Structure 1
Amino acid sequence: MQIIDISRELFSTPAYPGDPAPYREAIRRMELGDGYNLTAFFSGCHSATHIDAPRHFLRDGKTLDQLPLAPFYGPCTVVPAEGLITGADIDRLAIPKGSRLLIKGEGRAFFTQSGAFALAQAGICLVGTDALSIAPPGDEAAPHEELLSAEIPILEGLDLSRVEPGAYFLCAFPLFLRGTEAAPARAVLLTG
């Protein structure tokens, strides 16, 4: 079995415009005479590779800890895309119900509202992207609302540069953060 890490590193990945930049601080350091190393860090919940829960755009939506874990583990398909992904594009893919779909677009492929609506209607259980957001700049709300109102988690900020389109097995569990609208995740694809 091959394990392909598709996560972005937390401290070196640029923050989404307007979000806080993550940082770390060495609290204890052995080279300064401490008996052990201890690091603290600060990060927004949407930094680097992360998962959005319904609460991100829905006032009464579920928080990440209220979602089942099943969508974050299972078969997935990596699909190449570019530009705006519409409902017609999704219809052409004929996505099976319960699928996990990862979009490989070099950070420049985004869902329109109709594309997100078509995904929700298709009954997928998770959608991911190598962009910092599934939505194009200036139209963040509509695609998020379509997917999150159907309780479809959104996996953003993936690194799919070393991944060919095709079928894989996804493992992308979020950190267990009670009451949050998102959380960082370590995402990997399994093959073989």
Structure 2
Amino acid sequence: MIYDISREMFSTPTFPGDPVPEKSVHMGFNKPVPDVYQVTKISITGHTGTHADAPRHFIPEGKDAAEVELSRCIGRCRVAEHNGSLTPEDIRRMSEPDVKRLLIKGNIIVTPESAAEIVSCELLTLGVEGMTVGTEGTIAQIHRILLGAEVYIIENLDLSAVPVGDYFLSALPLKMAGLDGSPVRAVLMDFE
């Protein structure tokens, strides 16, 4: 079974203050003199819809979206469920035994302590359903902890139809040099 865990880019709300994505027909069939093909122009940020943060999002010398190590974006993962603040104990419990990519269902708050535990547990990937990790006062701190250790952060996932369990994840960023994040088409594949 394949689960599409991505949100549709143009209908998903954006992070407060970010520009709303736009699309327009550059070449099209519905013009007075129709074109032979259709080409759509889009205007988005690297953090539109379901997306991954590259280290450069908060680390000036960090890797950009084209430089992210692909082994962080694809491979075995665990989907766990939690609501509220994450503790270091929660991270240890969800990542046992030997989980390297963790996606969390629910309305969670990553705390500085749980972010440090994610790094300590050597997780490669953290995926969340929210638009960001942390709260208004801790967003920068938590991103710096995780991205400074090159933890691949996937935000704005839709895990509503996915049962808790182990899967194969594919959430590759687009190869766009210089960008601090990239939309991803995230999917989970069930092993059974």
Q: Is the shorter-chain TM-score for this pair beyond 0.5, marking a shared fold?
A: yes
1:57 corresponds to: 58
Q: Secondary structure at the match of 1:168?
A: strand
2:135 corresponds to: 136
Distance 2:109 2:52 in 1: 16
Q: Deviations over 1:11-50 (max 9, x none)?
A: 1110000111111001122122222111000001111110
2:88 corresponds to: 87
Contact persistence 1:46–1:182 (CA under 8 A): yes
Question: Residue 99 in 1 paired to residue 100 in 2?
Answer: yes
Q: Structure 1 unaligned segments of length 5 or more: list them.
A: none
Task: Give identity over the alignment, percent.
Answer: 40
What is the number of equivalent residue pairs in this alignment?
Answer: 189
**CA distance change for structure 1 residues 81 and 20 in 2, over 3 Å: closer, same or farther?**
same
Distance 2:127 2:174 in 1: 17
Q: Secondary structure at the match of 1:51?
A: strand
Q: Structure 2 unaligned segments of length 5 or more: list them.
A: none
Distance 1:166 1:85 in 2: 19
**CA distance change for structure 1 residues 94 and 67 in 2, over 3 Å: closer, same or farther?**
closer
Report how far residue 94 of structure 1 moved.
Answer: 4.6
Q: Deviations over 1:128-149 (max 9, x none)?
A: 0111112123320111111111
- The code of the aligned residue for 2:156 comes to G
**CA distance change for structure 1 residues 96 and 61 in 2, over 3 Å: closer, same or farther?**
farther
Distance 2:120 2:28 in 1: 52
1:109 corresponds to: 108
2:39 corresponds to: 38
Distance 2:95 2:24 in 1: 47
Question: Residue 26 in 1 paired to residue 45 in 2?
Answer: no
Distance 2:132 2:63 in 1: 19
Distance 1:109 1:98 in 2: 19
Q: Secondary structure at the match of 2:30?
A: helix
**CA distance change for structure 1 residues 176 and 81 in 2, over 3 Å: closer, same or farther?**
same
Of 60-69 and 19-28, deviating more is 60-69
1:179 corresponds to: 178
Question: Residue 147 in 1 paired to residue 131 in 2?
Answer: no
1:72 corresponds to: 73
2:48 corresponds to: 47
Contact persistence 1:95–1:124 (CA under 8 A): no
Q: Secondary structure at the match of 2:113?
A: helix
How much is the aligned-residue C-alpha RMSD, in angstroms? 1.3
Question: Residue 170 in 1 paired to residue 169 in 2?
Answer: yes
Contact persistence 2:77–2:99 (CA under 8 A): no
Structure 1 runs of 4+ off > 2 angstroms? 91-98
